[in-house]
Amino acid sequence: MMVALRRHRSMVISLATALALLVAVLGSSLVADAQEPAPPAVELTPQAAQDFLDERLPALLDEHGAPGLVAAIVSGGEQAAAAGYGFANVEQQRRISPSTTVFETASIAKSFTTMAVLQLVDRGLIDLRADINTYLGQGLEVADTFPGQPVTMHHLLTHTAGFEDALGADGAPSAEEVPSLEEYVAGTPMKRVQPPGRFVAYSNYGMSLAGLVVQELAGTSFEDYTAENVFGPLAMASTEFLPVSEARAKQDVATTYYADGSPTEAIHLAGTPAGTAVTTADDMSRFMRALLGGGELDGQRVLSPRSAQQMLTRQAGMDPRVAGAGYGTWQFQLGPPPGFGHGGDLPGIHTQYVVVPELDRGIFVAVNGDDSDKSMAVNPLEDLRFSVVKEFLEAFAPESAWPGAAPDPSVDLSRYEGAFVTTRNSATDFTKLRALLDNLSVSANDDGTLSIKGPSALDETWLPAGDGLFVAENGEDMAAFVEEDGRVIALALNINPTQAYEKVAWYEQPRLHLLSWAAAALVLLSVLAWPVAAAIRRVRGRARRDSTRGAFLARLIAAVAATSSVALIVLLAYGLANSSVLEQWLFTSPGWLLVPVTVGALAAAASAVAAVLAWKHGWWSTLGRAHYSLVALAAIVFVSLGWTYNLMWTPFG
């Protein structure tokens, strides 16, 4: 999600390698906090801003293959330029306009919510360090999971409260079934899985909870409060919190598209303050100007200078040497000059704004479609929206060089080895499967470098820069290892400050789980040999040795276990192959997804009993009994992993 995505990857690798060799030859000592000054910033005149948009955005749009995008640039307290390219609706050939085309903001809405919270801080109604339960009504309280360590508004605004992130509670099957904000919070008791402040873990629930506090203290709906106190004073006439289905009925909302060019399916989101808002590029330029103006725009003050600064200043993070969080914002470059902002993603919609306070400039971008299959991007973190922001920052707000780094064979790096799993994960629903997709494997190399492998790793080889900080050999990212009581507990990537990666025990490693799942499935599929063998015997006219009713039922039960495993694999494969289906599952967590493993659990238990009976009563040959026992064991392994990833119903919830 972050900057540091360098464009010419091969050139950077060559330069980084040459630099590393030069430093090794000279025997220079590397200081982790030593930085080269940033190149002087280019003057951002209205003409320069418009030229950038007109020259680069059409080219990037063509390169990535999305249907359309809109952008607005602010500088010196004014909107310097704004333009739309491509189509708001491909079928109708409706062009995008920065002033009239409305876009879903997705998670950019969290910055609006934060502004509303900080207004109440300015009025003395909220203490950022007080127990959040101080402001919540009965039935809405946060559990006292870690006595003496309450969740505070500071934790909510920096995503450090320690909540799980169970996506299944964030949506509803239809617009009519979307709960109110109070119903959503009361009906979604997210577990506290970490002490507050320990890890960064992006939380839609946490920001919704912050919005509920605004509603409770203001005595009016969250939507009405923000309309009257945020969007109204800032003259953001086309911006409001409401479901996109309602927005389409009264505004020109851009149609959103999947990578194959088909329109996206509707997602009915709960938790309004976390992501259910719409806006235009012109309105977002006013919001950015208010932040850069110390909370004031056109004589209207919406925040105190102190609160505005808190949104544009680092407030939390895993390590100060990699990107962290402001209040309702994320760092997009460490600086100097530092940049802060927020992004948002929903099916077919990708948004981003970044402001650079030191230079009084910023950019907003919204894209109404996923990168197409012809896109040149090789990483999700290089999509069209990020490419625009990256090029803007490189052109008009270049960042200082990162710390020097080079291989050091004299240092033992084995302490950093292990498996690391995203902290943004579920403890209660099947979206815990994200751990299988978002994890990192770290190993030490003999040449004094680290290997970091995983979907989020932008390179495999990482060079030490001192004190647990590593720089990717290709120059695209930095990694900082976090220690507690003298042991490594987590890994933070500069490219994505919205989460950390927690080190897990060997038996919790996702790779081990995948291999075990695959092995168990293969053993379970071996039951197909039974009917094949029976057919061969029948053809040859041989008598059956397992004709007892007990033996027949035993194999039938094992077949049910095998069928359940196949059903789960088919379901998951179908979801992965159909993005619209998978999105619906993720946001609504349908109960029938638990049926295969739940049925399989009953069959696995019965198979284990049958295996014992098979040895007791001498069913089949010795080899046949051994095979059946192995099948029963495989069923137990398969079900155990299903239970681990919350794919099984239990009476305990």
* Residues 625-635 pLDDT 10s: 999 999 999 99
For residues 329 and 311, is the Cβ–Cβ distance under 8 A?
A: yes
User: Which of the pair, 382 or 494, is modelled with greater confidence?
Assistant: 494
CA-CA distance, 332 to 361, in Å (whole number)?
A: 14
The overall average pLDDT reported for the chain is 91
Q: Which among 289, 264, 295, 280 has a CA at the least distance from the CA of 105?
A: 280
In degrees and rounded to multiples of 5, residue 71 shows phi and psi of -150, 150
Q: Decide: 286 and 604 in contact? Cβ < 8 Å.
A: no
DSSP character string of 421-451: EESS--SSSGGGGHHHHSEEEEEE-TTS-EE
DSSP category for residue 474:
T
Find residue 488's DSSP bridge partners: 483
pLDDT, tens only, 169-194: 788 888 889 999 999 999 988 999 99
Please determine, for residue 196, whether its predicted confidence score (pLDDT) is greater than 50: yes
Q: pTM for the complete prediction?
A: 0.90
Query: Which amino acid makes up residue 425?
Result: N
Calculate mean pLDDT across residues 353-374. Answer: 95
What pLDDT, on the 0 to 100 scale, is given for residue 537? Answer: 78
Radius of gyration of the chain (CA): 27
Report whether pLDDT(30) > 70. Answer: no
Complete DSSP assignment for 181-192: HHHHHHH----B
Structure tokens at 48: 């320069």
Region 223-229 average pLDDT:
98
Instruction: Please tell me the distance from the alpha carbon of residue 375 to that of residue 66, in angstroms, as a whole number.
Output: 8
Question: pLDDT digit string (tens) for 448-469?
Answer: 999 999 999 999 999 999 999 9
User: What pLDDT is recorded for position 653?
Assistant: 61
Provide the CB-side half-sphere exposure for 479 (13 A, CA). Answer: 29
Say how far apart CA 102 and CA 89 lie, in whole Å: 12
Spatial separation of the C-alpha atoms in residues 427 and 143, rounded to whole Å: 15
pLDDT, one tens digit per residue, over 91-100 is 999 999 999 9
SS3 of 236-297? CCCCEECCHHHHHCCCCECCCECCCCCECCCCEECCHHHHCEEECHHHHHHHHHHHHCCCEE
pLDDT at 375 over 80: no
If you average pLDDT over residues 462-483, what whole number do you get? Answer: 97
> Six-digit token pair at 618?
């001498």
Amino acid making up residue 326: G
32: tokens are 């982790």
> Average pLDDT in the 556-581 region?
93
356 vs 333: CA distance, rounded Å: 9
Distances (CA, A) of 585 to 267, 576, 591: 10, 11, 10
* Model confidence at 620: pLDDT above 80: yes
| Rounded CA separation 353/23 (Å) | 38
Asked whether the CA dihedral 502, 471, 324, 483 is positive or negative, the reply is positive
Given a cut of 70, whether residue 115 has pLDDT beyond it is yes
Q: Are the CB atoms for 491 and 420 separated by under 8 Å?
A: yes
Q: Which of 60-64, 68-72, 269-273, 375-379 has the lowest mean pLDDT?
A: 375-379
pLDDT category at 31 given cuts 50, 70, 90 is: very low
pLDDT digits (tens, 9 = 90+) for 507-530: 999 999 999 999 999 999 999 999
H or E segment to which residue 591 belongs: none
Residue 551 clears pLDDT 90, i.e. is over it: yes
Residues 385, 64: contact at Cβ < 8 Å? Answer: no
Confidence at residue 19, expressed as pLDDT on a 0 to 100 scale: 28
Q: How many residues are given for the chain?
A: 653
Yes or no: domain 46-396 corresponds to CATH 2.40.50.140: no
Give mean pLDDT, residues 563-573. 95
Min mean pLDDT across 12-16, 116-120, 431-435 is at: 12-16
Could you report the per-residue pLDDT of 231-240, keeping only the tens digit for each? 999 999 999 9
Stretch 330-346: mean pLDDT: 96
Cα(567)–Cα(581) distance, integer angstroms: 16
Structure-block tokens of residue 591: 């109960």
Kindly report the CA angle at 459 between 458 and 463, in degrees rounded to 5?
125
* Band (557; pLDDT cuts 50, 70, 90): very high
pLDDT for 543 equals: 58
- Whose structure tokens read 């994320």? 330
Average pLDDT over residues 580-600: 91
The neighbouring-strand residues paired with 192 are 163
Q: Which of 83-87, 130-134, 375-379 has the lowest mean pLDDT?
A: 375-379
